[in-house]
Amino acid sequence: MLKEELFARIWERFGTLIILLSLILIVSLLSPYFFTVDNLMQVVVQSSIFMLIGMAELFAILTAGIDLSVGSIIALTGAVMAKMMAAGWGILPSVLVGGIGLGALLGSINGTLIAVTELPPFIITLGGLTVYRGITLVITEGRPIYNYPYEFNIIFAGQWKGIPSPILVVVIAGVITHIFLKYTKTGRNIYAIGGNVKAAWLSGVRVKTHLIVAYTMSGLLSGVAALIMVARVAAAEPLAGTGYELFAIASTVIGGTSFFGGIGNVPGTIIGALVIGVINNALNILNVQTYYQQIVSGLVIIGTVYANKILIRRGEK
């Protein structure tokens, strides 16, 4: 009995990390090109956007909700930010207002609609996905935006003392998000809402206010992800982030976040995003045709989450 309980505790804490390390070992045996410093660094950089939108999705799922608009928020904030820079606003004001600030605003709109209308988050954020994407296409006229200062790309897609900028952004965002969720009253209340919304309300938690905060943070982190995406692509694409809500959800769920809310953390989400990054990188290195990559990725993600669930159940018996 003690062994089973010990197993459950170990797997609950380190299960996703074990899965990640197992994937790395398997791919390293299949290809000599995978386990190199340059390639592993590239995997982390490529996964940086998944990490950021995974943390964004974490806020929504912790409340037993979901945010399907993260990809569209990336596109809209990226487009507005690029247009502001092209109009001469400067990099810092454009990043703070058009990128991070607008992302937070869009997220707060989602949260407010969820709190006021009491409609399911799935419906509200699905509407947000469509509306925000439509606005992006309108303001860009369906064309990429290139004519902004190239220094922006150097700042957010370059390196600082040998460390890629996307990794630095993820570290800063991850530390702040982890502290916010784990060590502030607001963060603990977000967990409480997902664990049992009625009990949280009876305990004096302002449920609607905290829902707005959670979705505001989701939008804010999506805006941060837009910085990395625009800089790495060297353009604000109107279709940027299409389908990325699926990567965001997968990152959080693979990382151990419960769809029922109240369970999940930043480290697990980051590892979950790395699992997706390793899978995508491995398929490219192994020369799997593009048409099959999505099929394989989807099956591996389903298998990983299912295996995680089964192993935890066995450990709890």
Q: What is the pLDDT along the chain (317 residues), one digit of tens a residue?
A: 566 667 667 766 777 888 899 999 999 999 999 999 999 999 999 999 999 999 999 999 999 999 999 999 999 999 999 999 999 999 999 999 999 999 999 999 999 999 999 999 999 999 999 999 999 999 999 999 999 999 999 999 999 888 999 999 999 999 999 999 999 999 999 999 998 999 999 999 999 999 999 999 999 999 999 999 999 999 999 999 998 998 999 899 888 888 888 889 999 999 999 999 998 899 889 888 877 777 877 787 777 677 666 655 655 55
Backbone angles phi, psi at 236, to 5 degrees: -95, 100
pTM score: 0.92
The answer as to whether 244 is a domain residue is: yes
Closest CA to 193 of 177, 212, 174: 212
| Structural domain span for residue 285 | 34-316
The answer as to whether 9 is a domain residue is: no
Contact 160, 27 (CB under 8 A): no
The answer as to whether 117 is a domain residue is: yes
**Residue whose token pair is 């692509």:** 233
**Residue whose token pair is 């952004």:** 169
Please count the structural domains in the chain. 1
* SS3 call for 105: helix
pLDDT digits (tens, 9 = 90+) for 172-202: 999 999 999 999 999 999 999 998 999 999 9
Question: Which CATH number covers residue 165?
Answer: 1.10.3470
The answer as to whether 94 is a domain residue is: yes
The DSSP string of 26-72 is HHHHH-TTTSSHHHHHHHHHHHHHHHHHHHHHHHHHHTT---TTHHH
Closest CA to 47 of 159, 166, 157: 166
The tokens describing 14, both together, are 């380190």
Quote the CA–CA distance of 190 and 195 in Å, as a whole number. Answer: 9
The answer as to whether 279 is a domain residue is: yes
